[in-house]
Amino acid sequence: MAEDLYREVILDHYKNPRGHGVIEDADASADGLNPLCGDEISIYVQFGDDGETVEEVKFSGRGCAISQASTSMLMEMVKGRTAEEIAGLPKEELLEEVGIPLTPIRLKCALLGLGVLKVALHRAKGTPLPQEWAGLDELELT
Amino acid sequence: MAVTTSKPLDARVLRADFPAFEHLSRGKPLAYLDSASSTQKPRQVLDELRTFYETSYANVHRGVYKLAEDATAGYEGARAKIASFLNAPSEREVIFTRSATEGINLVAYAWGLDNLGPGDVVVVTELEHHSNFVPWQYVAKRTGAEFRAIPFDDYGELTLESLDEIAAAGNVKVVANNLVSNSLGTINPSERLGAWAHEQGAIMVVDAAQAAPHRTVDVQALGADFVAISSHKMCGPTGVGALWGKRELLERMSPFNLGGEMIRSVKLDKTTWNELPYKFEAGTPAIAEAVGFGAAVDYLTEIGLEAIEAHEHELLAYALDKLGEIEGVTCYGPPPERRAGIVSFNVDGVHPHDVAQVLDWEGIAIRAGHHCCQPLMTRFGVAATNRASFYLYSVPEEIDRLVDGIQKTRKLLG
């Protein structure tokens, strides 16, 4: 049923996203695109005094309810964790939080934010990149 | 010529030819509104594929035995059907490809790399499918030619006022355009563009993948130099398409794929090319699929392209009416008289992926995304749209269910 997929907690995060916005002069940031459906997500990270712990994290962009809700949940999940911890965060942990059965296509929507966040941390801190992530393998036309 | 009848079609009767409609989707009868992406297949085509494999299958053009002769006759017979369907002057000008995309790539590589350079201009439109956009952008970059795109207006129709300015940019050498836009359904003035291309001394390349299923495509009347079509969008199998090209151009062109079949003689120091069309058909082709493509062309011809076009028009007008009544729904594209049976729309505040997902649970298949037309989406300022598209087997009840589904989506997510 469509109602199972768009359960209340998903709709709540979709309609009232947590951590929605932009951090000017962010310590780390990255943009990602899911070319299948045109979802776009940018993530901004600010570290605490130790330079490792995520003190503030925000996201902006547009996309489907699944991508927006899962990224909103991700924002709550990673605050207070270190870059290293987040780089090692298994996608299953986020998917458990999302808590709905997803087809392979919708899985890409749900995991877009996590991929973008890991790319941002990789750029700022050299933490490992995820082995696979949605939509970030854009080829430059040369 | 393909059109033999103007008798209206009965979609309910034709629907029975398509086994896909005998199965439920998510427990509900299938409302298939994604024919612009790919069409369902009638029994007549499926039976032909099976019969061919069971009774006439071998490799083509090689064996001297009976079965190989039968297979070659089937394959070449399909070529003749497609040549007649397109009103091509000669069967030798019809090349079997893997898809319309491959047909366009063939021209871009085999003609473009040898004939383009700095100072030349390659012209496409902002309405193109990526398949008739990216190959030209790429080949222009490879050869140092300039790449320009004709813009379109708020209705999704090309604005030809820009042509003079484009002509001033250099030597226009290629004009590439889709006859029908796959995301908006716009029927483009390809004939006019072709005349303009020839005035500039350019070649005209028409992507007719979205047009050939729906209206008569007469390559001579179009005044084009190359026309690409695709089997799977017109009730035929996947994996096969056709490229028609003018013989004098095809003969002067370098080969595209190299290997077996496309050669005349191979020596250690030199290879010469086979005659048309085989020069462009390296390797064992999609033999049975080509035969199925021929059967699909027979199927469409018997129904009549005029009847198909009229039926789609009726559904399109009905859909635009019904969707227009829903609050918060925006439809894109030109007025119904200037478009094929395609409706691109958005539901205020609901991402197309979510619309398509809710509709799926109602057994309704639509497409959500950028439809391989990112420049077009950018122009409209949207990331994606929903697209419902109709074909000869579509019925008004499917549109009613679409409307109910959109209402449900709005209630859930709006």
CB contact under 8 A, B370 and A65: no
- CA closest to B351 among chain A residues: A64
Instruction: Read off the pLDDT band of B16 (50, 70, 90).
Output: very high
Q: Contacts of residue A64 in chain B, CB cutoff 8 Å?
A: 351-354, 357
- CA closest to B369 among chain A residues: A37
The distance of B129 to chain A (nearest Cα, Å) reads 15
Q: Contacts of residue B368 in chain A, CB cutoff 8 Å?
A: 37
Kindly list the residues of chain A whose beta carbon comes within 8 Å of any beta carbon in chain B.
Answer: 1-3, 5-6, 11, 14, 35-40, 62-66, 106, 109, 141-142
Say if residues A97 and A73 touch (Cβ distance below 8 Å): yes
pLDDT of res. A63:
87
CB contact under 8 A, B383 and A1: no
Say if residues B356 and B367 touch (Cβ distance below 8 Å): yes
CB contact under 8 A, A37 and B368: yes
B35-71 tens-digit pLDDT? 999 999 999 999 999 999 999 999 999 888 999 999 9
pLDDT of res. A133:
54
- B315 has pLDDT over 90: yes
CB contact under 8 A, A37 and B358: no
Q: Please name which of A24, A93, A34, A88 lies closest in space to residue A66, comparing C-alpha atoms.
A: A34
The conformation of residue A114, written as its DSSP 8-state character, comes to H
Q: Mind listing the domains of chain A with CATH numbers?
A: 2-124 (3.90.1010.10)
Q: Contacts of residue A5 in chain B, CB cutoff 8 Å?
A: 357, 361
Of B137, B138, B351, the CB nearest to A65: B351
| Residue ranges of chain B assigned to CATH 3.90.1150.10 | 11-42+304-408
B198-227 tens-digit pLDDT? 999 999 999 999 999 999 999 999 999 999
User: What ipTM does this complex have?
Assistant: 0.79
- B295 has pLDDT over 90: yes
Q: Please name which of B127, B130, B131, B23 lies closest in space to residue B365, comparing C-alpha atoms.
A: B23
The distance of A32 to chain B (nearest Cα, Å) reads 13
The conformation of residue A31, written as its DSSP 8-state character, comes to E
- CA closest to A40 among chain B residues: B383
Q: Is the dihedral of CA B400, B406, B410, B414 positive or negative?
A: negative
pLDDT of res. A1:
63
CB contact under 8 A, A63 and B377: no
Q: Contacts of residue A62 in chain B, CB cutoff 8 Å?
A: 351, 383
CA gap B185, B333 in Å, rounded: 7
Strand-pair partners of A62: A40
CA gap A96, B314 in Å, rounded: 47
pLDDT of res. A33:
83
Of B362, B384, B413, the CB nearest to A6: B413
Query: Which CA distances in Å does B124 have to B104, B196, B380?
Result: 12, 13, 18
The distance of A65 to chain B (nearest Cα, Å) reads 7
Of A40, A63, A141, the CB nearest to B137: A141
Q: Contacts of residue A11 in chain B, CB cutoff 8 Å?
A: 412-413
Instruction: Read off the pLDDT band of B414 (50, 70, 90).
Output: confident
- B95 has pLDDT over 90: yes
- CA closest to B26 among chain A residues: A1
Say if residues A110 and A70 touch (Cβ distance below 8 Å): yes
Instruction: Read off the pLDDT band of B3 (50, 70, 90).
Output: very low
CA gap B221, B7 in Å, rounded: 23
Phi-psi region of A21 (alpha: psi -120 to 50; beta: other; left: phi over 0): left
* Tens-binned pLDDT, residue by residue, of chain A (142 aa): 666 778 888 999 999 999 999 999 999 999 988 777 778 899 999 999 999 999 999 999 988 999 999 999 999 999 999 999 999 999 999 999 999 888 888 888 899 999 999 999 999 999 988 766 544 444 334 3
Task: Answer whether CATH 3.40.640.10 is correct for domain B47-301.
Answer: yes
Q: Which of B344, B357, B382 to mutate to test the interface with A (most CBs of A within 10 A)?
A: B357
Q: What is the mean pLDDT of chain B?
A: 95
Strand-pair partners of B346: B330
* Kind of pairing between the strands at B364-365 and B31-32: parallel
pLDDT of res. B34:
98
The catalytic residues of B are 372
Kindly list the residues of chain B whose beta carbon comes within 8 Å of any beta carbon in chain A.
Answer: 137-138, 141, 350-354, 357-358, 361-362, 368-370, 377, 382-384, 408, 412-413
B158-191 tens-digit pLDDT? 999 999 999 999 999 999 999 999 999 999 999 9
CB contact under 8 A, A141 and B141: yes
CATH for B11-42+304-408, options being 2.170.150.20, 3.30.70.270, 2.60.40.290, 3.90.1150.10? 3.90.1150.10
| Residue ranges of chain B assigned to CATH 3.40.640.10 | 47-301
Of A2, A37, A141, the CB nearest to B361: A2
Q: Which of A14, A31, A64 to mutate to test the interface with B (most CBs of B within 10 A)?
A: A64
Of B351, B358, B369, the CB nearest to A2: B358
Instruction: Read off the pLDDT band of B246 (50, 70, 90).
Output: very high
pLDDT of res. A102:
86
Of B138, B368, B412, the CB nearest to A141: B138
